[in-house]
Structure 1
Amino acid sequence: MGSKFCELLTMLVTWFSFLKDLLIPSNRFSSWVADEACCKWSGVGCQNRTGHVLTLDLRYNSSEVVQGQLRESLLGLPYLRYIDLSLIDFKQMPIPEFIGSLSKLKYLNLSNANLKGTVPDHLGNLSSLQSLDLSGNSFSLKANNLDWLSCLSSLEVLDLGGVDLSSAVNWLDAINIFNSPISNWLVESSHTLRYLSLTRCQFHGSIPDAFVNFTLLAVLDFSYNNLHGSIPHNFGNMTSLVVFDLAFNSLEGSVPAILGLIQELQHIKHSPLRELHLSYNKLNGSLERILPQLSELVVLEVASNSLQGLITEVHLRKFSSLRALDLSKTELILNAGSNWIPSFQLETLGLQSCHMGPKFPQWLQNQKKVLKMDISCASISDTTPNWFWDVSLSMKHLNLAHNKLRGRLPDLSPTASLLTLDLSYNLFSGTLPHYPLKMESPVLAGNAFSGPISPICDLLNVNNALRRLDLSENALSGSLPNCRTYGQNMVFWIWDITCCPAKIPDSIGHLVHLKVWTLAENNFHGDVPNSLRN
């Protein structure tokens, strides 16, 4: 019996072609040798007594690309319980209907597999299925209806992220219709479903009240759709929620009222909620009264809503687990004392357009693990302290634009991790700094940097990572440098040289990826270089 399955698996491996990186040889299927027991092959799991193949875990996460096809020969493995073919490139083939014949399947993962077409109703035949993941297929999958879900009464995990549900006519409305297939599925699955992700599914409508019955649901993700109306106030019944994501919709209402969910959860001694994503909606109100009830959160994101009010260190003192905070594009005022040492260590901080000034926030000195920070347009008018540049060494993205920050910019360590740096429209002065070797986008426009422009080639540190450079609206002088070997990946290059006559260097024509080159209000003279004419 076992040899029969091994023969089928030997056929299976021929369906995949490898586009190999010459420097990184593939070993993903090196254990798939015909004279070896197939149950010992990597990614294959068998039942010990019978030798039946129960598991195929062929997910591929590598710099190499694996391409393949799904063929009916797979039906020769009728005892399969678990199939993971994620991250394999199926070259935009449709999900075959025969998958629905693998009746013993409990786990099916076809995510990020470059599949295309209509999700077959035949998946509804997989009545034992507990986990289904069709996400990440480049918005190429669509579902004309979701009635087939009503047959999956054991489903615990459902991820349809990126599947186009716009043709699943009124499926959200159908949820509220008594005895409709979808409403029946919700009633049944409310006792089993733990993970539901319908992000980027292009559906619209309001959130049905029926979802409040999902008392076991740990993850609810409806982000990046066109949901409108308010969030049902009785979401407080969902007492198992760990991740709650409704970001990038058009939801309305008062934040305190919407977070009645949290008010309910506070009665649970140990609320499991750890991530709250409500950014980019049309919510309003104040966070002052509700913040103490969110102190167990790891992620709090409410950016780009009509939020107002004052937040002090008192509101944040118990947030010891917080790792991501985004209050950007709100009218919130963040007023923390100079002696405040937060109990949290943030990895992501977004406070764009929040009022933080006029003093530079001293509490940032304690934040040693930040990877991304945006405190632009934050009404800060102060000298940037030297310690801040030490803190920035661990960051990958830093935005201080549109404040009134003063001081000389130090040379940034060549080993710093910064990829993007935006210091535009401040009051920084002095000569241009050295950049980290990995820097992709330094934006220094609208400051008071001075001195000759000619050393720019040396400052670039032979930096082939550089893609955008904006030095406009400064007091730089001299001729444009002839940096033939630098900036080969440059896409955007913006500066103005207004004080001195200059020629356009011939090397500009060698920036083969350059799409935008702005030389505003210049005093250039001479001929256009031959390299640009070609």
Structure 2
Amino acid sequence: MACCKSLVALLVLLLQSFTPPVLTEATKTTSLPLANTTRDKVRCVKRERNALLTFKQSLTDPSGRLASWVGSECCIWKGVYCDIQTGNVIRLDLNDRSDNCYWKKMDSLTTGNSSCLGGNISPALLELHYLEYLDLGGNDFKGLATPTFLGSLENLRYLNLTLSSLIGVPPSLGNLSNLEYLSLHAYAYPYDTVERGWVKDLSWVSSLSSLRYLHLSHVNLSLAKHWLESFNKLQSLEILDSQNSSLRYLPYSLPKWNMTSLSYLYLSGNNFDNPVLPKWFSNATTIEELDIGYNNIKGPISSIEWGKLCNLRELRIMHNKINGDISQVIEGLSSCSNKTIEVLGLRSNEMTGELPNSLGNLKKLRIFSICMNMITGTIPTTIEHLSGLQTLDLGENQLKGDLPESIFSFSDLIELRISTNALEGNLSENHFARLHQLKVLTLSCLGNFVVNLSSEWIPPFSLIHVELRACGLGPKFPSWLETQKQLRIVILSNSSISDPIPPWLWVMCSQLHWLDLSGNQIGGTLPRLVNFPTSFDSTVEFFVSYRYGVVVDLSSNRFHGLLPLWPNVTHLNLANNLFSGSIPLNIGHVMTKLQVLDLSGNAFTGSIPYSITRAKQLLRLDLSDNHLSGKIPDWWYSLHQLQVIDLSGNNLSGRIPPSICSPPSLFWLRLSSNNLSGEVPNSLRNCRNLLALDIGGNKINGTIPKWFAESLLSLQMLRMTDNKIGGHIPTQLCHLPNLQLLYLSRNNLIGSIPSCLGSLKLLKSVKSYKWVPNYYYFNYVFTSKMELIKKGTKMTYTFTLEQVNLIDLSCNNLIGEIPSEITNLSALGTLNLSWNQLSGRIPEDIGRMQILETLDLSSNHLSGSIPLSMASITSLSHLNLSHNNLHGPIPTTNQFATFTDPSCFEGNPELCGKPLMKDCPQAKKNETDRKFEEDDDEQEIRLFFLMGAGVGFVLSFLVTFISLMKKKSWAYWCFHVMEEVGERIIMCFLAFVTCLNRIFSIRRIRSIY
């Protein structure tokens, strides 16, 4: 995946720029007296020289990195270090630090030769008996298994195989008892998916008693169940890095915490099953950096005693589902005497509460990120004490009140993100006067929050990322952005801009990576794309003018005629504007780095350009709601990274092409509201990761494929409305475990409603997870969209689509009764079975569907009375039972009191009562009202009887007891009578048993004879 590769590439560069303390220390400890220069008179050991030459012969070296490995003095060879006194090789450093090898593996090396070493790793290294340091990182061994003989290099103290495309971790490494540094960072694209490289057992790690640094990120540890127990035996361990390792088991507690030296713990990006915020974090009191982000961890923030973690400098738990009051973590950390915390990253969780005043006590805080939570209240004024803040990220919460003026005095501030809150205030140019270091600014103007920036303003900063949503910047394009020469990301959505895209923004083509101008009134046509340099000389000016007809004015950087489009842009969003004309035919040739292309909601015409196939990294393609025509092209084979295709709302015709499911990661396919024809193609079987399939509003015929349940097991939303699909509803649909939306209305379906629909798992209980891929990237650049009819109104659902649980089978030819099993769907929100030929009664237990908001059973042949249980569905807000054969009184209690529109019940001649004009006869009083009245009377009578009986019993008992205590003769007489009565009862019981015995004896004798 190109996106993943790019993200990992960025991560790798960040990791390479970060030198952990233990890495520096490990390098020092292994840097014993060395020699590899001609000034040192060190004689190479012949046996070791021969071993190195044998090792070299097994390698491939296309760039000649080992060209110096000639002659007899191996101690001066590149990467070879010897002990000055003995001449033994103690260090072999062949790490490729040029990054060329890595970028070649990522298919991004454009110039120069790769400096990768490859081939095989010869066991001749075993002849280097004194080897303490071995670094083969950054090379490309193309999925070779990590050699097991490395575990026999018993003097090794440093072993680095990072990014070497070796797979697997041999347990023999547990023999290296002197090892202090072990790095097996195994991102080995495309070999990292090979199952034979997955680690099943980590028990060998506990033997590495000297280990201080352990780096296992991107090593697949999904089969290692007791990984933490193994690591917990390493008392010397200082850094544990197991990010993106597919770990599945996260214990909640540990019997004893033994990693008493641990300072750095990185566990982000794993796949924990049912993870809960671990309690054992409270015992890790030596931790300085803790990163457990992107793990889907749940549980309250109070699970950890934050007041114990007083050495904590950096805390990152973002992108989880941790809940609870945010003040608990802030007040806990502020209770420490030393208050070391510098980074507090809590973004994208489910935390609530208000920011406490104790926030001001964390005076060393540099990064404070709490965006995408549910934090309420105001920003405390004590934030003025955090003068060293570099990142303040409060966006997408529910904060209110004024934005403290003190924030704009933080001269070190680099990132200011406060969008999507309920803040108030009026920001002007003066507020930004002291923010000279600002690089990222994100604001959204909602409610009483206003931003006033004049076009002539010259900012004191140079932004890289600007995001101003709904801030009413128009109608003119904000010209002050022209002064921002380092811009990479520009987001000016819903800003009332009607100006054309200014020429200076086209000139930024070489630097711009992200452009979002959606939701404005920008019109015109996109120019034919020209890819030429932005720094011109007279030659280029003449060439461009002659070849492309572009008038280039070098003095003002203004272009007339054809314009270049941004060749480095990865995200282009021009949705919901007034653009017209055709999509440039060579858009993919020029914009080869595109990952997101969203041109939806405009007036583009013509066909879909073939050049889009050149954008190999494309993840999302949205051309919906335009006037595109022609056939859907059949060239999807080449777009391997594509995850979202939305071509709905156009004039496309023909059949669904066979290759459209070729992208293996495709999870969203929307082709609705076109003129597509033919049957549902078998090629859709290949969409095995599909979450949503929307082909409604076309002319598709045939039947619903039975193989949906075999191949599309991930499917959660199926929309096939407004087609010509016939046949029965296949029972196989009931086996889709994640189906939450089934929309088959306005087709030619026949037969009965399958009773097994009542077993749809996801509709039987309220779901507690998001169906959109669970990572921040798609939450930010992709908004789900689907057109549905709910509560009788056609609406386009976006952000709330994941909350819609719906079954709509209306406008077909279905017959038979409504299956009673459908009342098992207690999480269903909308049920529409109208305009069919259904008969029989409405299920009596329909009241079990307590979350039902919309129920439409109109225009059928249903009979019987309205079930009394329906009155208990308190969430029901839209009801239509019209044009059936229902009879009897309409209930008037509970929810039915809100249905005052007669059209909900008309067309049922035998129905009576409000809101219809037909009154029910007095003798036939409303059964529901009578039932409720009888129930109320019965309850009152029962209550009075029980109260009277209770009082009477207590009084009788007290009178009898007191009398017997006063008169002993009465007590003797009473007990005597009770004794006689008891004896008589016993005698009668014995006589009765004797009689029964005789009767049964007589019957047995008769049966014998």
TM score, norm. by length of structure 1: 0.77
SS state at 1:340 partner: helix
Distance 1:494 1:136, change over 3 A: same
2:599 to 436, 446, 471: 471
Letter in 1 for 2:403: T
Looking at structure 2, the residues matched to 72 and 447 of structure 1 have their Cα atoms a distance apart, in angstroms, of 61
Looking at structure 1, the residues matched to 362 and 497 of structure 2 have their Cα atoms a distance apart, in angstroms, of 33
SS state at 1:304 partner: coil
Q: How does 1:88-487 map to 2 (within 5 A)?
A: 88-90=164-166, 92-93=167-168, 95-113=169-187, 114=192, 115-137=197-219, 142-167=224-249, 171-173=251-253, 175=254, 177=255, 183-186=256-259, 189=260, 192-203=261-272, 204-208=275-279, 211=282, 214-215=285-286, 217-225=287-295, 226-231=297-302, 234-264=305-335, 268=338, 272-287=340-355, 289=357, 292-293=360-361, 296-307=364-375, 308-310=399-401, 312-327=403-418, 336-341=427-432, 342-343=434-435, 345-349=437-441, 351=443, 357-359=449-451, 365-370=459-464, 372-376=465-469, 379-383=470-474, 386-390=478-482, 393-411=485-503, 412-432=506-526, 434=563, 435-449=565-579, 452-453=581-582, 456-457=584-585, 462-466=590-594, 468-475=596-603, 479-480=605-606
Distance 1:251 1:519, change over 3 A: closer
The equivalent residue for 2:922 is: none
> For 1:118-157, what per-residue CA distance to the aligned partner results, in whole angstroms no more than 9, with x for missing partners?
2421111111111111012356563434222243111111
Q: Does the 8 Å contact 2:200/2:221 carry over to 1?
A: no
Q: Between Structure 1 and Structure 2, how many residues are aligned? A: 494
Deviation at 1:82, TM superposition (A): 0.9
Distance 1:209 1:351, change over 3 A: farther
SS state at 2:499 partner: strand
The equivalent residue for 2:150 is: 74
> For 1:459-511, what per-residue CA distance to the aligned partner results, in whole angstroms no more than 9, with x for missing partners?
888443345443332355xx52796667732752515555xxx86499x6678
Distance 1:287 1:427, change over 3 A: farther
Looking at structure 2, the residues matched to 29 and 103 of structure 1 have their Cα atoms a distance apart, in angstroms, of 31
Q: Does the 8 Å contact 1:430/1:448 carry over to 2?
A: yes
Looking at structure 1, the residues matched to 486 and 374 of structure 2 have their Cα atoms a distance apart, in angstroms, of 32
Q: Does the 8 Å contact 2:587/2:612 carry over to 1?
A: no
SS state at 1:251 partner: strand
The equivalent residue for 1:22 is: none
> For 1:1-48, what per-residue CA distance to the aligned partner results, in whole angstroms no more than 9, with x for missing partners?
944445545555566567xxxxxx535545555744257432x55443
Deviation at 1:88, TM superposition (A): 0.9
TM score, norm. by length of structure 2: 0.43
Looking at structure 2, the residues matched to 428 and 153 of structure 1 have their Cα atoms a distance apart, in angstroms, of 63
Deviation at 1:349, TM superposition (A): 4.7
Deviation at 1:50, TM superposition (A): 3.7
Looking at structure 1, the residues matched to 170 and 653 of structure 2 have their Cα atoms a distance apart, in angstroms, of 65
Alignment pair present for 1:49 and 2:92:
no
> For 1:177-231, what per-residue CA distance to the aligned partner results, in whole angstroms no more than 9, with x for missing partners?
3xxxxx2414xx1xx222111112334223326535524x321111122141124
Letter in 2 for 1:126: L
Distance 1:130 1:139, change over 3 A: closer
Name structure 2 gaps, 5 residues minimum.
1-43, 106-139, 376-398, 528-562, 661-1009
Looking at structure 2, the residues matched to 207 and 356 of structure 1 have their Cα atoms a distance apart, in angstroms, of 41
Name structure 1 gaps, 5 residues minimum.
19-24, 178-182
Mean Cα displacement is larger for which, 275-284 or 137-146? 137-146
Q: Does the 8 Å contact 2:266/2:291 carry over to 1?
A: yes
SS state at 1:146 partner: helix
Looking at structure 2, the residues matched to 119 and 346 of structure 1 have their Cα atoms a distance apart, in angstroms, of 48
Letter in 1 for 2:614: Q
Deviation at 1:281, TM superposition (A): 1.0
Q: Does the 8 Å contact 1:56/1:82 carry over to 2?
A: no
Distance 1:136 1:210, change over 3 A: closer
Q: Does the 8 Å contact 1:228/1:250 carry over to 2?
A: yes
> For 1:313-357, what per-residue CA distance to the aligned partner results, in whole angstroms no more than 9, with x for missing partners?
524245433434555665556764431124363444555797784
Looking at structure 1, the residues matched to 243 and 281 of structure 2 have their Cα atoms a distance apart, in angstroms, of 21
Q: Does the 8 Å contact 2:301/2:326 carry over to 1?
A: no
Looking at structure 2, the residues matched to 194 and 526 of structure 1 have their Cα atoms a distance apart, in angstroms, of 62
Looking at structure 2, the residues matched to 408 and 139 of structure 1 have their Cα atoms a distance apart, in angstroms, of 53
Letter in 2 for 1:202: N
Letter in 2 for 1:446: N
The equivalent residue for 2:615 is: 489
Looking at structure 1, the residues matched to 231 and 634 of structure 2 have their Cα atoms a distance apart, in angstroms, of 57
Deviation at 1:52, TM superposition (A): 4.9
Letter in 2 for 1:398: V
SS state at 2:315 partner: strand
Looking at structure 1, the residues matched to 615 and 522 of structure 2 have their Cα atoms a distance apart, in angstroms, of 27
Q: Does the 8 Å contact 2:326/2:351 carry over to 1?
A: yes
Distance 1:53 1:224, change over 3 A: farther
Looking at structure 2, the residues matched to 282 and 486 of structure 1 have their Cα atoms a distance apart, in angstroms, of 39
Letter in 2 for 1:249: N
Looking at structure 2, the residues matched to 166 and 460 of structure 1 have their Cα atoms a distance apart, in angstroms, of 40
Distance 1:511 1:2, change over 3 A: same
The equivalent residue for 1:518 is: 647
2:63 to 26, 29, 42: 26
Letter in 2 for 1:158: L
Looking at structure 1, the residues matched to 458 and 305 of structure 2 have their Cα atoms a distance apart, in angstroms, of 38
Pick 1 or 2: higher relative contact order, CA cutoff 8 A, min separation 6: 1
Looking at structure 2, the residues matched to 380 and 131 of structure 1 have their Cα atoms a distance apart, in angstroms, of 49
